[in-house]
Amino acid sequence: MSAAPTIRPLLLGGLMLGAAMLGAGLMLLVQWVTPVERERTGQLVRAYLLEHPEVLRETSDRLRLNDNAKLIAANRAAIVEPYAGAQAGNIKGDVTLVEYIDYACGYCRASLPMVAELLAKDAKVHVVYREYPVLSEESRVAAGWALAAAEQGKYRAFHDALYALDGPTQANIQAAARTAGLDLGKAQAAATSERVTAEIDKNLQIGSKLGISGTPGWVVGDRVIVGALPYQQLAAAVDEARKSQS
């Protein structure tokens, strides 16, 4: 494919600004040039973007990252501060990895060994679990019981026990609660309480704003990542967040 025509520095600057602002910045630039120059600039922009579509992808990614960073900053406490004991790792760690989960999600179950490996290898990471029941009504019931377990200091035990079973059926939720050693009466009352309902609703609202359309969803530093991640990618995201703080 032939190279794009040479573009004068001023017009190239206008081109990149136009890509970044999806055309708005470019219109501000070209209002000072003649109609002929304006048409020629449009042709050059089109030719350049056809040969370099990665410019738009990179620009879109950067805009999304900036938007996510602002949303995370505005809602940081609601994202990184755990509900009761719904957490793992070093509570005073230097990086918090937040995982939005659904107990009906097979990818969340598949992520368990990756999170366990991260916790085993990184003594400074703090993992916060956010209940994000988006797949079924049973998911919502399970989320309530998980937060009830958190209130009893047995979140991880319930979390692991339920994921070891084949989905959040009522029978499996009760079995996981017994395995975790919950006070079943207190857990039943807490699972449907206003405080637990409010926590789940908050997670759903903020997760939606962050673009977490499925589970698992991850927030680490200023980044939002959706989908199951291999250990290496999970660890790399934590390292990147750690470096950005230094």
> Is 22 in the same domain as 99?
no
Q: Which domain holds residue 19?
A: 1-52
> Is 83 in the same domain as 189?
yes
Output the pTM of the full model: 0.75
Determine the pLDDT at residue 17: 46
- Domain membership flag for residue 197: yes
Q: How do 125-131 and 95-101 pair as beta strands?
A: parallel
pLDDT score of 66 more than 80:
no
Encode pLDDT of 7-22 as tens digits: 344 444 444 444 444 4
Determine the pLDDT at residue 43: 73
- What is the spatial distance between Cα 19 and Cα 100, in angstroms, rounded to a whole number? 33
Q: In what order do the strands lie in the sheet with 95-101?
A: 87-89, 125-131, 95-101, 217-220, 223-226
Helix, strand, or coil here: 157?
Answer: helix
Encode pLDDT of 190-226 as tens digits: 999 999 999 999 999 999 999 999 999 999 999 999 9
Instruction: Give residue for tokens 């699972």.
Output: 191
> Is 48 in the same domain as 81?
no
> Is 84 in the same domain as 22?
no
Lowest-pLDDT range of 25-39, 53-67, 112-126, 175-189: 53-67
> Is 17 in the same domain as 104?
no
Question: pLDDT category, 33, cuts 50, 70, 90?
Answer: low
Asked if 195 and 166 touch (Cβ cutoff 8 Å), the reply is no
Instruction: Give residue for tokens 């056809």.
Output: 50
> Is 222 in the same domain as 111?
yes
pLDDT score of 245 more than 80:
yes
Q: Which residue has the higher pLDDT, 37 or 54?
A: 37
> Is 239 in the same domain as 154?
yes
> Is 33 in the same domain as 121?
no
Instruction: Give residue for tokens 């006070």.
Output: 183
Encode pLDDT of 68-108 as tens digits: 789 999 999 999 999 999 999 999 999 999 999 999 999 99
> Is 89 in the same domain as 38?
no
Give ∠ CA 151-101-57 in degrees, rounded to 5: 140
Asked if 217 and 100 touch (Cβ cutoff 8 Å), the reply is yes
Determine the pLDDT at residue 49: 54
114, 119, 121, 122: CA torsion to nearest 10? 120
Helix, strand, or coil here: 231?
Answer: helix
Q: How do 217-220 and 223-226 pair as beta strands?
A: antiparallel
Q: State the total domains in the chain.
A: 2
Determine the pLDDT at residue 27: 53
Q: Which residue has the higher pLDDT, 42 or 111?
A: 111
Determine the pLDDT at residue 198: 98
Determine the pLDDT at residue 166: 94
